[in-house]
Amino acid sequence: MSEVRHDWIKEDILAIYNRPLMELLYDAATIHRRHHDPNTVQVSTLLSIKTGGCPEDCGYCPQAARYHTEIEGNDLMTVSHVKAQALRAKASGSSRVCMGAAWRNVKDGPEFDQVLEMVRTINKLDMEVCCTLGMLTENQAKRLAEAGLYAYNHNLDTSEDYYKDVISTRAFQDRLDTIDNVRKSNVTVCSGGIIGMGEKLEDRAGMLVALASLNPQPESVPINALVAVEGTPMENMDPIPIWDMIRMVATTRIVMPETQVRLSAGRTQMSREGQAMCFFAGANSIFAGDKLLTTPNPDVNEDMEMFKLLGLNPQKPFTKISQPKTVEASESQFTSLDEKPKWSGPGHKIERNEDAKQKVKLTD
C-alpha cells in the first residue's frame, strides 16, 4: 500500500520534525529503505549558463541586478561550451546536468532556441537534463520536453506565508503555475526550498505542505541551507545548525517517501559526519562541482572520497526514482539470536525466535 498522501497539515509535519532525533532518524531511514536503495546517491552537476543581471529581488540571491555583490555576470554560454562542461561532469560521475539561467521568465526567441539545442546536445550524451530558467508557459514546457528535457527545477523557496519576506517581484502562485505548466508536459518536477532565511519552523512545515499537496508530488525536492552572500539582504544571517538540515531532510523523506531528496546548497559548511546523517535520513542526491551556480560547493573529488568512505554508489542516469527495495538484515546484526530474520519490504514483519521474545512490525 502506498504511503504517499497529499492531505498533510502543518501541525502533523511539525510533530514529525520535533520528534526525538533518534526516533525521527529511525522512521525516516525505514521509509527511505522501503522506496529507495540506501547506498545509491544521484550526483548532479549544476551549470550557470547565464549569470547575473536578474531583475528579481530574491533576498538570498547574489545574481539580482539590484544587489551589489561580487558576482561577475556572463552572457548565455555557447552550446559547445555547455557540451564540454557536460562531458567533464559525466567523466567525474554525474548522471544529470542542471542548467540555470538568471532570468525572471523564459522568453521565446534566439536565446531560448539556444537552450533547446543545449538540451538536445546533453540528452545525446545519455545524461539527464534539468533546467531552471524562471517562469515558463505551457508551450515552452512542451518545447523543452520535445527537446529531451528530463526535469525542470522551480523552487517554492519557503512557505506561502513567509514568501513575501523573501521576494516581492514574483508571487507564490506564479511558482505554482509554472510547476503546473511543467506537469502538463512529459517533464519531471524538481521543487524545494531554502532554510535559514529567518523563517519559523511553521514556515518550513508550510513549505512541505505546499510541496506534498501537489499531485503527483515533485519527483525531486532540493533542501538548501542558505549561503549568506555579502551584498544581499540576507548577508548577515547565521549559518543554520546541521541538526536543522538533518531534521528537515528526515521530515521531507517521511512526508514525501517516493521523492528524491536533494542535499543541496550549504554543504561546504557541513562535516562529512553531518552529511552522512542526512544520507541516512533519506537524502539521495547531491550537486557536485566547485560551484552551485554562484555559491561554493565541495570539490567533486572530495565527494567521491566521501562516497567511498560511506560505501555509496553514484546513481545511473534515467533510473526510476522510487522503487520498493528488498533489504535483508545482515547476520551480524542478530548474532545473539538463533534465527536470522527476513526483511522483505513494506508491510512485512521481522520475526526472531521465541527465546528472544522480540518482534518488530513495520506498517504502512
Give the residue ranges of the annotated binding site for [2Fe-2S] cluster: 98, 130, 190, 262
- C-alpha neighbours within 13 Å on the C-beta side of residue 23: 6
Instruction: Decide if 42 contacts 285 (C-beta within 8 A).
Output: yes
Catalytic residue selected from 131, 175, 190, 278: 190
Catalytic residue selected from 33, 34, 58, 183: 58
Distance CA 109, CA 103 (A): 14
Catalytic residue selected from 204, 247, 253, 262: 262
Binding residues for [4Fe-4S] cluster, by number, are: 54, 58, 61
Distance CA 106, CA 224 (A): 24
Map grid coordinates 545525446 to a residue: 124
Instruction: Decide if 31 contacts 254 (C-beta within 8 A).
Output: yes
SS (H, E, C) the chain: CCCCCCCCCHHHHHHHHCCCHHHHHHHHHHHHHHHCCCCEEEEEEEEEEEECCECCCCCCCCCECCCCCCCCCECCCCHHHHHHHHHHHHHCCCCEEEEEECCCECCCCHHHHHHHHHHHHHHCCCCEEEEECCECCHHHHHHHHHHCCCEEECCCECCCCCHHHCCCCCCHHHHHHHHHHHHCCCCEEECCEEECCCCCHHHHHHHHHHHHHCCCCCCEEEEEECCCCCCCCCCCCCCCCHHHHHHHHHHHHHHCCCCEEEECCCHHHCCHHHHHHHHHHCEEEEEECCEECCEECCCHHHHHHHHHHHCCEECCCCCCCCCCCCCCCCHHHHCCCCCCCCCCCCCCEEECCHHHCCEEECCC
Catalytic residue selected from 33, 34, 96, 130: 130
Distance CA 16, CA 348 (A): 23
Is residue 54 annotated as a catalytic residue, yes or no? yes
Catalytic residue selected from 61, 247, 253, 267: 61
Catalytic residue selected from 54, 204, 267, 278: 54
Is residue 278 annotated as a catalytic residue, yes or no? no
Catalytic residue selected from 33, 96, 98, 131: 98
Binding residues, by number, are: 54, 58, 61, 98, 130, 190, 262
Task: Report the alpha-carbon angle 305-306-308, nearest 5.
Answer: 65
Is residue 131 annotated as a catalytic residue, yes or no? no
Residues labelled as active-site residues: 54, 58, 61, 98, 130, 190, 262
